[in-house]
């Protein structure tokens, strides 16, 4: 506990759990939509870390500003990602990522 | 004469350029326009350039004679232009010119080359008249004369070498003149390749002469030749023989003993290798008999009169180099004598008229080398000239006979076979009489040219020897060697071989003479007023006219050759009979000797005669005449009185030996088996290596490895996002592990002289440090806490030891320890003195700094 009565370790653990959840979700699920959601989960875990650590530097808001950037970029990424998913669905009538094999064959 | 001297002064004798370049002009014009010019124009041009060159050579010869009134050697130069420049290691440069010079030796040689060359050109115009390659033939002949003149008139070894290769090329072209026959093309190739072996020797000799004498033109070599009296270590090649230590000690010491050869001997042997190739000496003589595949005038000009004597000319030209090495001279003499005898023995059993003459040429060349080898340069060179006359005459006579045989026998081998000749004396009187003159000369009929020149060689073989220049040679650096000295029995042995060869020569030449010109004609049944039944055959047109052997061949009376062919025969026959009077010491005529004396003046100091040599002249004369009488008498008895029966019974009694001699001692087969076989197996080995190492191991195995690894790696490229992401996660884990592990590293700055050793710990993320500098086992500082001090230094006394420990802790609380050992060495005294002298930088000894093995204690 620091002088503000606040445990950074708890946030780190929460963010680690979220990140692991997103990572495992990305690795084990084949549904592209779920994978996109997992990516969002990992990005938000990172955002949480940035904000939590930034609380330790009272005169410095870089971490929080960075979190906003990430939210904006993540929104753009979701827009592009969903567009790809739509195009993919039109092509294959499926949203399973292991069916994206046209470059291989 | 004054006009010539005024026009062409000795130092700028431009006439030489005309002599050399005229045949080149003929070759160039005939070679390019020959087909369009027509036969008359081609022969006119070829003959006129030769005639003019001969006339200029005569003028030069007399101008030389005029200039050489006193004892001084006269020499005319035409400097030409600079060819190339070599820079030596000491910075001086050697300039090589395309320059020509003429003195008594090559003036005489040029006279023979252009004179005999002109006669043979004249002969060829008629002999080759029907050949479709007429202009090509005369082009090659002109080109040959040009190359030969470059060879003999060149003022330095490189220029000579250009001519040397040029005559080799022309020889190749002319041997294979009728190249549609594989046999002829192969003979040309054989001549060329064999000559290349000799050329290697000549190149080596040039390199050595350049190194030791600092130049390659005759006058530089002449003045610096004594530089060759230096021992060279030729064995072992490095400091010791590799793997010799595996042998017993005595053998090892024997193998590792340094062995020396004088540079003069190396140069002499290398030169002789070149000469042995060009002049068909053992063991490189094999190309010359095969070279008879060329047209007969070629055999007369190149392979009897001129080119093959180039080796003798070169040894005479460099006589002052050769005499510096008695060993090389002995090699020359012994090789010459053995070649003479060996070739004569083969000539015994040959039936082809040109083959007999070819082996006879090899044998006579052996005589020339014998003469040169014992230091009788004049005698050897005189034999070159007389041999040019009588052997050219014989070859042209043989050509005339073959020409006559071609009236009915068109096969090359059959038309040259003595068994188809005989009795031509009646039908070809001029050929017969000129051949008789040449025969008399070669068998040593008294007072003919061959009698004088051969006997001079034999006499000198017995009486003269090469003086050893000095007992031992030293190179001033510990290398010394004893100089080979001429053994006393060598002269006797050389003479014995020579006189036996003279006997053999008389025998086989008489056999040839009788077989061709006496007895009954055996070629075909002679029918007066015989007419060719169907189609006409040209000479040498090689339309193989196969005849039914059961019906006896009929044909016209063998005819004498046209004047273009018999005039050269008559001139050469005359010279063969009487040229001996140029040098007949028996009658105190020594024109040739005096003429060449200035050229061989320097070399003659090294040649000595045995005691009482002057009394031996008449004894040897008797022996020579006995050899002539014995040889010819035996041949007359066997082939005329007994009609060849003893020869037949001999062949039947000893079929093995007879077959061996007929097969030329099967030397070609031995070469085929061992030399060519060795080259072939080498080639096979490289073919194998190419197939299995380059193509298989380097190309296919590499390609296989690449494609296999591609196949394996392709399984990793699943195309599934999850797989790639999983690999990323694993990689992230590894990088993360690297970051959370602390590392204790420090840069050490050691100064042995002042005893100050400083340490700078490497920094890292969130690192803190603690030290143990005094080696007391406790961490420094009040409580042994971690601090932020990264730099430490300590002072050490001389020869003091110290162990320093460093521990680091990172942000995660993990630690690592490292130990450093220091020892200050004793001051370096030699470094101290040199520093006091102040002339060299202080010598810094490498610190005896040992780093302990890394005990990465991770807590």
In a domain, A101, yes or no: no
Q: What is the radius of gyration, based on Cα positions, of chain B? A: 41
Q: What is the pLDDT of residue B829?
A: 60
Residues B195 and B111 in one domain: no
- Higher pLDDT: B201 or B592? It is B201
Examine the fold and report which residue of B138, B153, B168 is the final residue of a domain before the chain moves on: B153
Burial class (CB in 10 A: 0-12, 13-18, 19+), B609: middle
Q: What is the pLDDT of residue B110?
A: 94
Q: What's the pLDDT band for B540 if we cut at 50, 70, 90?
A: very low
CB-nearest to B725 from A26, A100, A101 is A26
Examine the fold and report which residue of B116, B132, B153 is the final residue of a domain before the chain moves on: B153
Per DSSP, B235 falls in state E
Q: What is the pLDDT of residue B476?
A: 64
Answer yes or no: are the C-beta atoms of B482 and B472 closer than 8 Å: yes
Enter the tokens of residue B145.
């004369």
Judge whether B722 is closer than 8 Å to chain A, CB to CB: yes
Q: Say whether A100 and B729 touch across the interface (CB within 8 A).
A: no
Residues B145 and B215 in one domain: no
Q: What is the pLDDT of residue B856?
A: 47
In a domain, B93, yes or no: no
Residues B484 and B365 in one domain: yes
pLDDT of B243 above 90 = no
Q: Say whether B722 and A30 touch across the interface (CB within 8 A).
A: yes
C-alpha B714/C-alpha B734 separation (Å) is 24
- Out of B503-517, B591-605, B622-636, least confident range: B591-605
Q: What is the pLDDT of residue A72?
A: 95
Q: What is the radius of gyration, based on Cα positions, of chain A? A: 18
Enter the tokens of residue B603.
């070399």
Q: Is the peptide bond before B283 cis (omega within 30 degrees of 0)?
A: yes
In a domain, B786, yes or no: yes
pLDDT of B477 above 70 = no
In a domain, A26, yes or no: yes
User: What is the CATH number for A50?
Assistant: 1.10.287.3510
Residues B118 and B218 in one domain: no
pLDDT of B834 above 70 = no
Residues B315 and B186 in one domain: yes
Q: In B, which residues are within 8 Å of A28 by CB distance?
A: 722
Residues B59 and B165 in one domain: no
Q: What is the pLDDT of residue B90?
A: 80
Range of the domain at B759: 743-837
Judge whether B725 is closer than 8 Å to chain A, CB to CB: yes
pLDDT of B307 above 60 = yes
CB pairs under 8 A between A and B: 23
Mutate to test the interface with B, among A24, A81, A104 (most CBs of B within 10 A): A104
Query: pLDDT tens, B693-727?
Result: 999 999 999 999 999 999 999 888 877 788 888 89
What mean pLDDT is predicted for residues B268-292? 92
Residues B256 and B299 in one domain: yes
A103/chain B closest Cα distance in angstroms: 8
In a domain, B674, yes or no: no
- Higher pLDDT: B392 or B589? It is B392
Examine the fold and report which residue of B635, B662, B689 is the final residue of a domain before the chain moves on: B662
Q: Is the pTM of this model over 0.80?
A: no
Query: How many angstroms from the chain centroid is the CA of residue A21?
Result: 10
Query: pLDDT tens, B773-798?
Result: 887 778 887 777 888 888 888 888 88
Any long-range contacts for B91-96 (C-beta under 8 Å, 24+ apart)? B92/B214, B94/B210, B94/B214, B94/B215, B94/B216, B96/B156, B96/B158, B96/B216, B96/B217
Nearest residue of B to residue A103, measured between CA atoms: B719
pLDDT of B352 above 70 = yes
C-alpha B592/C-alpha B584 separation (Å) is 9
In a domain, B382, yes or no: yes
User: What is the CATH number for B812?
Assistant: 2.60.40.10
Q: What is the pLDDT of residue B811?
A: 82
pLDDT cut 70: percent of chain B above it: 93
pLDDT of B584 above 80 = yes
Q: What is the pLDDT of residue B320?
A: 92
Q: In A, which residues are within 8 Å of B718 by CB distance?
A: 104
Q: What is the pLDDT of residue B839?
A: 43
In a domain, A2, yes or no: no
- Out of B43-47, B509-513, B790-794, least confident range: B790-794
Q: Say whether A35 and B721 touch across the interface (CB within 8 A).
A: yes
Per-window interface: A 42-101 vs B, CB < 8 A: 97-98, 100-101
Domain count for chain A, please give it.
1
- Out of A28-32, B481-485, B566-570, B769-773, least confident range: B481-485
Q: What's the pLDDT band for B171 if we cut at 50, 70, 90?
A: very high
- Higher pLDDT: A8 or B679? It is B679
In a domain, A43, yes or no: yes
Mean pLDDT, rounded, of chain B:
86
In a domain, A77, yes or no: yes
In a domain, A82, yes or no: yes
Residues B65 and B137 in one domain: yes
Q: Say whether A104 and B729 touch across the interface (CB within 8 A).
A: no
Q: In angstroms, what CA-CA distances link B733 with B527, B730, B737, B815?
A: 114, 5, 6, 20
Domain count for chain B, please give it.
3
pLDDT of B744 above 70 = yes
Q: What is the DSSP string of A3-47?
A: TTS--HHHHHHHHHHHHHHHHHHHHH--BHHHHHHHHHHHHHHHH
Residues B140 and B166 in one domain: no
What mean pLDDT is predicted for residues B237-242? 75
In a domain, A73, yes or no: yes
What mean pLDDT is predicted for residues B581-592? 83
Per-window interface: B 19-58 vs A, CB < 8 A: none
In a domain, B691, yes or no: no
pLDDT cut 90: percent of chain B above it: 40
Nearest residue of B to residue A32, measured between CA atoms: B721
- Higher pLDDT: B441 or B789? It is B441
C-alpha B164/C-alpha B152 separation (Å) is 9
Q: What's the pLDDT band for B547 if we cut at 50, 70, 90?
A: low
In a domain, A16, yes or no: yes
- Out of B17-21, B195-199, B652-656, least confident range: B652-656
Q: What is the DSSP string of B646-671?
A: HHHHHHHH-HHHHHHHHTGGGHHHHI
Residues B122 and B193 in one domain: no
In a domain, B511, yes or no: yes
Answer yes or no: are the C-beta atoms of B616 and B586 closer than 8 Å: no
Burial class (CB in 10 A: 0-12, 13-18, 19+), B756: middle
Range of the domain at A80: 9-96
Residues B183 and B280 in one domain: yes
Q: Say whether A97 and B729 touch across the interface (CB within 8 A).
A: no
Answer yes or no: are the C-beta atoms of B194 and B286 closer than 8 Å: yes
- ipTM (interface pTM): 0.83
Q: What's the pLDDT band for B335 if we cut at 50, 70, 90?
A: very high
**Extended beta strands in B554-594, E state:** 554-555
C-alpha B521/C-alpha B144 separation (Å) is 37
Q: Say whether A100 and B719 touch across the interface (CB within 8 A).
A: yes
Alpha helices in A29-102 (DSSP H): 32-54, 62-92
Burial B33-71 (b: 16+ CB within 10 A, else e): ebeebebeebbebbbebbebbbebbeebbebbeebbeee
Residues B342 and B224 in one domain: yes
Nearest residue of A to residue B722, measured between CA atoms: A27
C-alpha B401/C-alpha B418 separation (Å) is 10
A102/chain B closest Cα distance in angstroms: 9
Q: What is the pLDDT of residue B473?
A: 77
Q: In B, which residues are within 8 Å of A103 by CB distance?
A: 719
What mean pLDDT is predicted for residues B41-65? 93
């Amino acid at each position: 506990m620091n002088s503000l009565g606040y445990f950074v370790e708890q946030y780190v653990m929460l963010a680690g759990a979220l990140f692991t959840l997103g990572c495992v979700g990305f690795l084990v699920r084949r549904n592209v939509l779920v994978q996109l959601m997992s990516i969002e989960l990992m990005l938000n875990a990172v955002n949480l870390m940035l904000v939590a650590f930034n609380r330790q530097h009272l005169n410095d808001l870089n971490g929080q500003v960075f979190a906003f950037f990430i939210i904006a970029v993540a929104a753009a990424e979701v827009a592009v990602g969903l567009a790809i998913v739509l195009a993919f669905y039109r092509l294959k009538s499926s949203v399973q990522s292991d069916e994206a094999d046209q470059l291989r064959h | 004469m004054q006009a010539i001297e005024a026009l062409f002064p000795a130092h700028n004798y431009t006439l030489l350029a005309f002599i050399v370049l005229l045949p080149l002009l003929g070759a160039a014009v005939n070679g390019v326009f020959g087909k369009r010019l027509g036969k008359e124009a081609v022969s006119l041009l070829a003959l006129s350039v030769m005639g003019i060159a001969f006339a200029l050579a005569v003028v030069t010869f007399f101008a030389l004679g005029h200039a050489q009134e006193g004892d001084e050697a006269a020499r005319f130069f035409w400097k030409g232009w600079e060819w190339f420049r070599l820079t030596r290691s000491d910075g001086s440069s050697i300039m090589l010119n395309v320059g020509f010079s003429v003195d008594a030796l090559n003036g005489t040689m040029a006279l023979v080359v252009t004179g005999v060359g002109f006669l043979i050109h004249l002969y060829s115009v008629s002999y080759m008249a029907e050949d479709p390659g007429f202009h090509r033939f005369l082009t090659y002949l002109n080109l040959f004369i040009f190359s030969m003149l470059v060879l003999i008139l060149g003022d330095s070894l490189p220029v000579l070498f250009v001519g040397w290769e040029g005559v080799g090329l022309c020889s190749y072209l002319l041997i294979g003149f009728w190249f549609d026959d594989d046999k002829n093309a192969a003979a040309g190739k054989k001549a060329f390749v064999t000559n290349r072996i000799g050329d290697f020797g000549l190149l080596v000799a040039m390199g050595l002469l350049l190194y030791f004498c600092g130049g390659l033109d005759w006058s530089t070599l002449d003045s610096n030749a004594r530089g060759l009296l230096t021992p060279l270590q030729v064995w072992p090649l490095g400091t010791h023989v590799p793997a010799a230590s595996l042998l017993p000690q005595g053998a090892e010491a024997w193998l590792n003993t340094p062995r020396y050869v004088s540079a003069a001997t190396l140069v002499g042997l290398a030169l002789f290798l070149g000469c042995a190739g060009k002049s068909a000496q053992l063991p490189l003589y094999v190309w010359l008999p095969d070279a008879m595949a060329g047209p007969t005038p070629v055999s007369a000009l190149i392979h009897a009169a001129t080119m093959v004597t180039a080796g003798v000319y070169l040894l005479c030209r460099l006589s002052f180099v050769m005499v510096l090495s008695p060993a090389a001279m002995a090699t020359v003499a012994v090789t010459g004598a053995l070649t003479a005898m060996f070739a004569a023995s083969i000539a015994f059993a040959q039936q082809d008229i040109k083959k007999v003459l070819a082996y006879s040429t090899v044998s006579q060349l052996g005589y020339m080398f014998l003469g040169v080898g014992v230091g009788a340069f004049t005698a050897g060179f005189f034999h070159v000239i007389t041999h040019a006359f009588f052997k050219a005459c014989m070859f042209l006579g043989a050509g005339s006979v073959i020409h006559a045989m071609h009236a009915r026998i068109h096969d090359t081998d059959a038309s040259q076979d003595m068994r188809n000749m005989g009795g031509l004396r009646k039908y070809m009187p001029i050929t017969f009489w000129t051949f008789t003159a040449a025969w008399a000369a070669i068998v040593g009929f008294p007072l003919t040219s061959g009698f004088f020149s051969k006997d001079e060689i034999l006499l000198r073989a017995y009486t003269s020897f090469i003086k050893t220049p000095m007992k031992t040679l030293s190179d001033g650096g510990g290398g010394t060697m004893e100089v080979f000295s001429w053994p006393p029995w060598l002269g006797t042995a050389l003479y014995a071989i020579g006189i036996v060869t003279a006997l053999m020569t008389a025998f086989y030449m008489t056999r040839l003479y009788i077989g061709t010109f006496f007895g009954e004609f055996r070629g075909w049944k002679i029918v007066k007023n015989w007419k060719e039944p169907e189609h006409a055959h040209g000479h040498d047109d090689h339309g193989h006219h196969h005849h039914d052997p059961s019906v006896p061949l009929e044909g016209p009376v063998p005819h004498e050759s046209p004047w273009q062919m018999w005039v050269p025969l008559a001139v050469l026959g005359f010279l063969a009979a009487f040229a001996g009077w140029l040098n007949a010491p028996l009658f105190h005529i020594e024109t040739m000797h005096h003429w060449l004396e200035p050229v061989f003046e320097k070399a003659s100091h090294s040649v000595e005669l045995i005691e009482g040599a002057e009394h031996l002249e008449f004894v040897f004369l008797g022996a020579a005449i006995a050899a002539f009488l014995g040889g010819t008498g035996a041949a007359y008895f066997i082939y005329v009185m007994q009609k060849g029966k003893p020869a037949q019974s001999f062949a039947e009694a000893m079929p093995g030996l007879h077959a061996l001699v007929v097969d030329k001692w099967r030397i070609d087969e031995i070469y085929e088996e061992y030399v060519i076989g060795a080259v072939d197996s080498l080639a096979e080995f490289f073919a194998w290596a190419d197939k299995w190492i380059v193509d298989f191991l380097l190309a296919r195995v590499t390609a296989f490895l690449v494609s296999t690894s591609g196949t394996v790696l392709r399984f990793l490229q699943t195309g599934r996002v999850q797989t790639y992401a999983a690999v990323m996660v694993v990689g992230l884990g590894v990088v993360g592990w690297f970051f959370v592990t602390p590392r204790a590293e420090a840069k050490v700055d050691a100064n042995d002289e002042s005893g100050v050793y400083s340490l700078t710990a490497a920094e890292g993320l969130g690192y803190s440090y603690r030290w143990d500098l005094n080696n007391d086992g406790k961490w420094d500082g009040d409580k042994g806490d971690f601090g932020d001090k990264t730099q430490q230094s300590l002072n050490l006394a001389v020869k003091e030891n110290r162990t320093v420990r460093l521990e680091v802790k990172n942000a995660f609380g993990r630690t690592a320890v490292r130990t450093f050992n220091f020892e200050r060495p004793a001051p370096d005294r030699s470094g101290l003195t040199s520093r006091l002298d102040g002339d060299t930088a202080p010598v810094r000894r490498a610190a005896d700094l040992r780093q302990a093995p890394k005990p990465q204690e991770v807590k």
